[in-house]
Structure 1
């Protein structure tokens, strides 16, 4: 089982590392433009996470429903579901992107952006939304491959698009020769071209695999809407909570000044990179769990979850401690401003080790959507952010103050969330032959 989990996860881990790594390097390039462009980019992160939350929620539904259909031997239905989600996903993300473009000024003012930041954002936000839409289409395609058990192709495509972006970033941001470069918008246009390249190659491979179906889509839409909404709805709500929490957090950070916002943005990029193995497992594990769920193999589900949690805790704790020790040097590599370097090192020392607990929570939430308890997964995600993370963040700022207070509060929130998720998982899987929702309902009656 360990070897199978490794084969399923390592391509996605490499892909996630390359994809998130280029985003971190992208911010490092922007940091060379100055504090103001980096702060402007950092203000856009919560809204970018909002788009990603919607697409990930739909991607979870794709993986869960298609893997269950394949586990039950319904291959033709799986092809119809793939076609439907690609079409609906493209439309949903397009509408969301348009709304975020139309209402950008009032939204960013609420987040604490001043006039200088708003001017920088205005040039950057349009191409960034186009990049987000193309990235969502690519992600939906990846979800189809993961649902069919193929993690190798999505992983290699993530690496390819990341390399294209990394090559284009310095050219479009800083220019070359007589070409002056585009500055901050150049980072967004590099991502547009990278995702467009990936989308073309992905489309060709999907056609070759014949995993899509044109016939019977309307009938499938009517019969599967309830099941899709039942999974995608709670999953999207779960995924939309982090952007909401990020908006509230950055509005607090904005009170500490532009330098603090820039530092917080870099730390957010570093967080996603350091969680690469967890993110890869949240992509590779649910389809496997979904097939076990469809076949009623609860013994295998138990073994999978124990192994996955062990890997997450050991990896994240080891990586977090090493990076915390190296925080002064890593901060110097990522940030040009001495003030940002010092604040980033402070965040790294407290936050990175706590991602072991955060990884446990993320894995439990992801597994819940595959195992038929999406509502409980959504509630767990809400508890992590609004009962653990944000209150601890607020306490850290008001009791300790400054960036150190933010870091200590966020770290404590991560630890509490991990402990709560572990407790929930043990109760849900206490009697695995029964449906998880019924187990929780019974346990709540007797608690």
Structure 2
């Protein structure tokens, strides 16, 4: 999964790196779309977390027929919900982007890009739901391989569709979105063929399953979706703080957002692969194994992320040079890298605690931890830093907020796991 996440997030960063060669204006226009793209991802991830938790618990308890019905429902209901969301975001694009601080020039760049980007987001959601089914059944290899395949397809198509080849002129900014459409389509084609060979889906008994499972599903999906939607909301508020500083800083902030997700590849891989494992242990009542898994995951998160962050901070000028085409954007991005990347060690701890909570029966606590991270630790210090120190203060404030969030999440996890059976609402195993 780590390899797959690296490939998937890598091609998103490659998109931004190619677009940066078009100029600061197209890169800034793409940066304005990130919060809404994260909003769609938040919905799909919240649904995926809930369904993966319920399927893994059903498999852990030996309820294979129920797991099949749940697998069928997530593809049908999830695809329909994301389609409705995509249509809503298309209809509301002008007021939403204006609210984020986009001017008329930025809106003119966003308009031809947004439709294919929304189509790509819907395809990506369908692909994510299929990946969730494979992960819930213990297969992380196929999703990882398909992420790599999709990334390679996108890497080949990006320069062709953005810049063109020979006498054929490229599509510019929309070309990046169409490359993603074709990449996700190739992934869907292969994974759906693989899924058709599995005995994981069933059409019988779906109505009864909806009646039986909608309450536990809503109990996990509701808090999980709120948890996942808070980061894009925070991203919208953050970019509204950055927008008054100028187009250069919006472009640098957008590149830093892409780099953030790429640098968190191992954490993201664990948030995908750990919950099904925890869910099976939860269904079987194996709390000692749950303790061992969480201790190992947190150690890996801190050691890996801190080492990577320090390395990236030392190489910040060269990383910025590789990603940004304009010298002023490079300088602004390098400053963000120096302060933010090391702080992602603490952010990784917080992400793992939230992910584990959804799998172990405390989704409400996970939601509250997410809310505290963003609206008590992150955004207030981001705003305060920007007011006191401009761009450097903003970077320092964001880094301090990440560290405070990680320490808070670790303290909450330690307290909950000191009495897991009462907190999770399950019988204490013999």
Calculate the TM-score normalised by the size of structure 1: 0.95
Instruction: Provide the secondary structure at the position in 2 that maps to 1:112.
Output: coil
- Given the alignment, which residue of 126, 138, 156 partners 2:127? 138
Cα shift readout 1:350-396 (whole Å, capped 9, x = no counterpart):
00000000000000000000000000000000000000000010111
Instruction: Provide the secondary structure at the position in 2 that maps to 1:215.
Output: coil
1:39-188 matches, cutoff 5 A: 39-188=28-177
Q: Look up the match of 1:9.
A: none
Distance change in 2, residues 1:360/1:328 (3 Å): same
Q: Following the alignment from structure 1 to structure 2, what is the Cα–Cα distance between the partners of residues 65 and 310?
A: 27
Q: Do structure 1's residue 394 and structure 2's residue 383 form an aligned pair?
A: yes
Instruction: Provide the secondary structure at the position in 2 that maps to 1:358.
Output: helix
Q: Look up the match of 2:404.
A: 416
1:362-381 matches, cutoff 5 A: 362-381=351-370
Cα shift readout 1:386-424 (whole Å, capped 9, x = no counterpart):
0000001011111212x2111100000000000000000
Offset of residue 438 of structure 1? 9.3
Unmatched 5+ stretches in structure 2: none
Kindly report structure 1 stretches of 4+ aligned residues shifted beyond 4 Å.
none
Q: Look up the match of 1:445.
A: none
Q: Do structure 1's residue 434 and structure 2's residue 422 form an aligned pair?
A: yes
Q: Following the alignment from structure 2 to structure 1, what is the Cα–Cα distance between the partners of residues 316 and 105?
A: 30
Q: Are the aligned partners of 1:321 and 1:352 in contact in 2 as well (CA < 8 Å)? A: yes
Q: Look up the match of 1:6.
A: none
Q: Do structure 1's residue 230 and structure 2's residue 183 form an aligned pair?
A: no
Q: Look up the match of 1:239.
A: 228
Unmatched 5+ stretches in structure 1: 1-11, 440-447
Q: Following the alignment from structure 1 to structure 2, what is the Cα–Cα distance between the partners of residues 364 and 14?
A: 22
Q: Do structure 1's residue 250 and structure 2's residue 239 form an aligned pair?
A: yes
Instruction: Provide the secondary structure at the position in 1 that maps to 2:422.
Output: coil
Instruction: Provide the secondary structure at the position in 1 that maps to 2:165.
Output: coil
Q: Following the alignment from structure 1 to structure 2, what is the Cα–Cα distance between the partners of residues 426 and 391?
A: 26
Q: Following the alignment from structure 1 to structure 2, what is the Cα–Cα distance between the partners of residues 369 and 99?
A: 28
Q: Are the aligned partners of 1:13 and 1:279 in contact in 2 as well (CA < 8 Å)? A: yes
Q: Following the alignment from structure 1 to structure 2, what is the Cα–Cα distance between the partners of residues 378 and 432?
A: 18
Instruction: Provide the secondary structure at the position in 2 that maps to 1:211.
Output: coil
Q: Are the aligned partners of 1:429 and 1:436 in contact in 2 as well (CA < 8 Å)? A: no
Q: Compute the RMSD of aligned alpha carbons.
A: 1.0
Q: Do structure 1's residue 266 and structure 2's residue 255 form an aligned pair?
A: yes
Q: Following the alignment from structure 1 to structure 2, what is the Cα–Cα distance between the partners of residues 203 and 213?
A: 15
Instruction: Provide the secondary structure at the position in 2 that maps to 1:33.
Output: coil
Distance change in 2, residues 1:335/1:437 (3 Å): farther
Q: Following the alignment from structure 2 to structure 1, what is the Cα–Cα distance between the partners of residues 140 and 130?
A: 11
Cα shift readout 1:139-196 (whole Å, capped 9, x = no counterpart):
0000001100100000000000010011000000000011100000000000001101
Q: Which stretch shifts more, 204-213 or 95-104?
A: 204-213
Q: Following the alignment from structure 2 to structure 1, what is the Cα–Cα distance between the partners of residues 422 and 236?
A: 39
Q: Following the alignment from structure 1 to structure 2, what is the Cα–Cα distance between the partners of residues 279 and 65?
A: 20
